[in-house]
Structure 1
Amino acid sequence: MSDKIYKLLLLLLMTAFSGFTQAKKTTFTFKYHKGLAPLESYWFNVYKPLVNNSLGEGNQFDKKFISTVKSGDSCETKYEYKVEEITCATIADLLGHEIIIIPGDHITIHIGKENKTRIAGQSGAFVRQWVHELSYTGRNKFVYSMLDTLSTFDGDLRNGSLSRFKKEDPDLIGFCKEVELRYQNRIRFIENYFRIYKIPSTVQSFAKSEIRSAYLRNLLVPLMWHKNISDYPPEYTTLIKNTRFTDQNLYFKTNLYSIAALEFAFWINQAPAEKDKSLSLIRQYDWIKTNYQNKIRDHQITGHLDNIVQLDYGKSTFDSLFIDFSSIATNKIYMNYLTRNNISLRNKQSVVFTYDQAKTSIITNYNGDKKQFSELIGTKPVVIIFWASWCKPCIEELPYEKMLESNYGAKIDFVYISVDYSKPAWITKGKELKILNNSYYLENSMKSEIVKHFKITTIPRYLIYDKQGKKVDDEDLVPSDKRFGSILETLITANFRGKIISPY
């Protein structure tokens, strides 16, 4: 082969390889008002499917800063993201805009002004899961706007509430019909969208999976109200009993498929009247082990065992299930995760901090002023709320917290303590959510003495104190539960008869 031909072939090969690697580079250009997003803002984080948020796996796509251009009041920031396959993702904004990414795309995302969160949809009013409207430009712009458009039509897929049904006495026939109607409406809408905008087939399958998973999750709601599967109309009893989530691609590349799988394993094996919690934990484990295989099975069991440890459901239960899992697990990463986290968590739990040691934990406000935790209590009743910018359940409870604060704020202090690992993330998210008064950052975050003293392993977490500085038993309730408001109501009356945990 002549030297000239060799060089020509080498050039062609390099060109082809360059084209291939370029196709994998996915860039998002964010256009926004200069006051909205600082350079280190969470806005530029693009989150992987929810299944990656657990088990120590990275929950964001790797990104590389390209440039920022400012012109008057407008800014334009470009990032490159490492995305290898078509996948669901979430752009940060409150609970986030759900999108489906096509690798190699170059999309411009226009961040609009704040918009009202409660809007009217096909099935009635609902709360939008984001604050700012987004619009997209680029070759596949209709792919990126698809799930936002669907949410505006009939509610966010991640929020399955059907508000007119009461948990005390739900009409299960009417409930199932309502869930079915919403599902059919969404399917008709999205199929019409596919036709109009010529959506690629793989993207179609992901979108339909999200809609189907939302439908199945909605059907489980009465079980959360302590109904039994046998209470459902027969066809839905059969559907729930026979549903399995075995598509590995959908499990790891979409948001709701894996969540629905976990919820099915949990709720259909619950027995509300069962006093021994370990029995349902073992039943859930056996159900996952029987009905799933390989990586899905290993991921589900790892998440299940991790919950047993994190929520302190019992060392003996964990140990027996862990030994059994060790004999069948095919994924060493998950086994190593369980071993490492189990040892680490038990070591932490063996360290006990008294309240006298913990009360000096330092909290800092937006201005950088510091005080000790103990300074929050002892002058008037107070509700202390532990939260973080990345915590979706925390943000979901915020409207209820604000409602209670508007009702009782004159007599009860509401204090927000962030356990974020990053102060900028706390400041940015706190101000975006308008958590302006009594907002603090906990120094040392989840490693602080106050967190260890109260064994805070999950958030949101609430501590309630009376005006004498005594901790009140909140029964592990959250503000969205009406009983939480009842505790506050009785707390400010002279004849409070709630249970006092003394001293701390």
Structure 2
Amino acid sequence: MRITYLIFFLGSCLSFQFTAGQSTIIIDNLSDNKFFGFFYGNEFNDLESSIKLRQKDLFGGYLSRYSIATDVPLVVVFTNGSAMNGSPVLLYPGDTCEVHDDGSGGYSFRNRINRNGDFEILDKMEQEYGFVLPGNLGLILSSRLDIMYIVDRVRSAYINRKMFIKNFEKAHLISNEYRIATEKLIHQKYAISLLFPFYLPQDSLGYNFENLPTEYYTILNDGIEGVFDDSQLHLNSYQLVLWNYCKFLSINSLNTSIEFVTMFQNATQHFSGKSREFLMFLVLKKYTGKGLPDFQQNAETFLREYPESDYREYLLRLIPNDLTNEMLKLANERLIAFNGTDITWKQIIDRNKGKVVYIDFWASWCKPCLQEMPYSASLRDSLKNKDVTFLYISLDRNKDSWIRASSKLNFDYSQHFLFKSESELKNLFALQAIPKYLIIDKEGNIYSPDAPRPSDPRLYNTLLKLSVE
């Protein structure tokens, strides 16, 4: 079940972290022959593990101290290698957690500021009533499954967990902060478990969601009441609530060609605040690399709405992988060179292999495009001794207008090209609005499909950095 949890919990293992000002310290005080490992989810819904964080000392041995840079609380799950055992602990920035043998094959956790009850509560709850995994994993969604029987089990587990917190608090020293945080966590777990029809695998016949009982919807609506809270966004349990509730809202489009578009629309229209921003990002992340026709347009909607988003750089690293593959499929598409001859996209890229390529999509009738040209000339001069090439590709429909406008710019004509009227590349790069700019790195991969304008001070440093890498 632990392996199942890893897949369900995150679904992806791409590593990327915020730069954080604080650290959580984990100290391994176990015997040398005991397996030790842990994992947790980060703000991007990715899995981080002790394997990634291991550091060696001067003699080549592994240190027993792990430091997690974080500004937010984390639920860290410790594992001894058994597929059925996991020990969750809620750790805050600045906490130091010592991990010891508990004498029975498991772990015990000690907090250096004498609030050991804080570190023990989730682990004890896991042992008594489960916490790490929704209790309905392992089931198959089919017309034969008794939905309300599963719902009753979920409700019973939630009631037992709430009672457990009250009883635990009577016998152990637990801070008010941890008690409140634990109550929110088990509410999130309850909501996730109620949403099981939208993440359980279906049998070979599929499942008709119209068969869900009316009573199920009533209980679900009651269960999610009060669960949406931007302050919980750093926790993967809350991220899973957002994801699966969005699937619930998209119930009629699941497993159809419009699933992605509907999920993105529902994330946009039915959520607010930071939860909305994260969920829009997560939908894009989950569907990247699938060659979906509306993907690029929706990705750019997100980037326009949230230009300063903490997810922006991460997303820009994902989108190019998808775009690069699609771009390579169009290698033989023809454009018009300034001398009037045809040239393929591959020929243009091959000419500049080993260089950073900054592409300016413009047109003679586009005033904002022309306003950027002096900045482009200045930037090009500043980088003339670097491995950076500037290309200018016009969307003009009138060839003569393009030639006249290009001649006035006094640029290197060999870097000027014109799209043909029916261009798949133009559609791929989602050029519904210009000016637009794109960066291709030295390896020929798209680095940024929505690069800064020449007038943006950030662009010089970006191009300079890429040129020396």
TM-score range, shorter chain: 0.5 to 0.7
Moved more, 262-271 or 166-175: 166-175
Q: Which amino acid aligns with 1:239?
A: L
Aligned twin of 2:284 = 305
> Compared with structure 1, are the counterparts of its residues 251 and 26 closer, same or farther at alpha carbon in structure 2 (3 Å cutoff)?
closer
Identify the residue that residue 33 of structure 1 maps to in structure 2.
Answer: 31
- Alpha-carbon separation, structure 2, partners of 1:342 and 1:145: 41
Q: 1:182 to 1:229 in 2, by over 3 A?
A: farther
Q: Take 1:134 and 1:145, find their aligned partners in 2: how far apart are those partners?
A: 10
> Displacement, 1:318?
0.3
Residue type matched to 2:29 in 1? Answer: K
Q: Residue in 2 aligned with 1:107?
A: 97
SS in 1 for 2:267: helix
**Distance change (3 Å), C-alpha of 1:306 and 1:205:** same
Distance of 1:293 and 1:62 partners within structure 2: 34
**Is residue 277 of structure 1 aligned with residue 254 of structure 2?**
no
Structure 2: distance between partners of 1:80 and 1:309 = 31
- Deviation for aligned residue 1:24: 6.3
* Match of residue 295 from structure 1: 274
Q: Say whether the 8 Å CA contact 1:62–1:81 is kept in structure 2.
A: no
Do residues 135 (structure 1) and 133 (structure 2) align?
no
Give the residue type in structure 2 aligned to 1:214: K
Please list, as runs of the form range in 1=range in 2, the aligned pairs for 1:481-496 lying within 5 A after superposition.
none
1:29 Cα deviation (Å)? 2.7
CA contact (8 A) 1:27 1:107 kept: yes
Q: 343-352 vs 176-185, which deviates more?
A: 343-352
Query: Which of 215, 239, 243 pairs up with 2:190?
Result: 215
Query: What is aligned with 2:180?
Result: 205
TM-score (norm 2): 0.53
Q: What is the rounded CA distance, in whole Å, between the counterparts of 1:134 and 1:152 in structure 2?
A: 12
Counterparts of 1:277 and 1:25, CA distance in 2: 44
> Structure 1 residues 276 and 60, CA, compared in 2 at 3 Å: closer, same or farther?
same
**2:245 aligned with 1:264:** yes
Change (3 A) 1:284 1:341: same
Q: CA deviation at 1:293?
A: 2.5
Shift of 1:182: 1.4
Aligned 1:222-261 pairs, distance under 5 A? 222-223=197-198, 224=200, 225=202, 226-228=207-209, 231-234=212-215, 236-237=217-218, 239-240=220-221, 245-252=227-234, 254-261=235-242
Which residue number in structure 1 is paired with residue 396 of structure 2? none
> Displacement of 1:215 after TM fit?
1.4
Cα distance 1:32–1:194, how it changes in 2: closer, same or farther (>3 A)? Answer: same
Output the CA distance in 2 between the equivalents of 1:336 and 1:105: 29
* SS of match in other structure, 1:285: helix
> Any idea what SS the aligned residue of 1:277 has?
coil
| Superposed displacement of residue 141, structure 1 | 2.2
Change (3 A) 1:284 1:240: farther
Matches within 5 A, 1:468-479: none
Equivalent residues in 2 for 1:406-485, closer than 5 Å: none
In structure 2, the gaps of 5 or more residues are 1-20, 330-469
Decide whether the 8 Å contact of 1:229 with 1:237 is kept in 2. Answer: no
- 2:87 pairs, out of 97, 106, 110, with 97
| TM-fit CA distance, 1:258 | 1.2
The residue that corresponds to 1:320 in the other structure is: 297
Letter in 2 for 1:285: F
Q: Helix, strand or coil: the match of 1:100?
A: strand
Asked if the contact 1:27/1:104 (under 8 Å) is kept, the reply is yes
Cα gap change, 1:237/1:80 in structure 2, threshold over 3 Å: closer, same or farther? same
1:265 shift after superposition? 0.8
The answer as to whether partners of 2:194 and 2:220 remain within 8 angstroms in 1 is no
Task: Please show how residues 323-402 of structure 1 align to structure 2 within 5 Å.
Answer: 323-329=300-306, 331-348=308-325
| Cα offsets for 1:409-437 (capped at 9, x unmatched) | xxxxxxxxxxxxxxxxxxxxxxxxxxxxx
Contact 2:230 2:273 (C-alpha < 8 Å) held by counterparts: no
Q: How far apart are the structure 2 equivalents of 1:101 and 1:80?
A: 12
CA distance in 2, matches of 1:233, 1:176: 13
Asked whether 1:157 is paired with 2:110, we answer no
Cα deviation 1:47-104 (Å, max 9, x = unaligned): 44454443xx977799796989xxxxxx993445545454423335457532111444
Code of the aligned partner of 1:277: S
- Change over 3 Å in CA distance of 1:309–1:243 after alignment to 2: farther
Query: How far apart are the structure 2 equivalents of 1:229 and 1:330?
Result: 39
**1:196 match:** 171
Give 1:150 deviation, angstroms.
Answer: 0.7
**Counterpart contact for 2:291–2:326, Cα < 8 Å:** no
| Count of aligned pairs between the two proteins | 295
Q: Which residue of 1 aligns with 2:121?
A: 146
Checking the alignment, whether the CA contact within 8 Å between 1:27 and 1:78 is kept in structure 2 is yes
**Is the partner of 2:305 in helix, strand or coil?**
coil
Aligned position for 1:470: none
Per the alignment, residue 382 of structure 2 pairs with none
Q: For the Cα contact (< 8 Å) 1:98–1:147, is it kept in 2?
A: yes
Superposed displacement of residue 301, structure 1: 0.9
Deviation, 1:291, is 2.3
Map 1:38-57; keep pairs closer than 5 Å. 43=37, 47-54=39-46
Cα–Cα, structure 1 residues 249 and 299, in superposed 2: closer, same or farther, change >3 Å? Answer: same
Question: CA 1:162 to 1:47, structure 2 compared with 1: closer, same or farther past 3 Å?
Answer: closer
Q: Following TM superposition, by how much is the alpha carbon of 1:134 offset from its aligned partner in structure 2, in angstroms?
A: 0.7
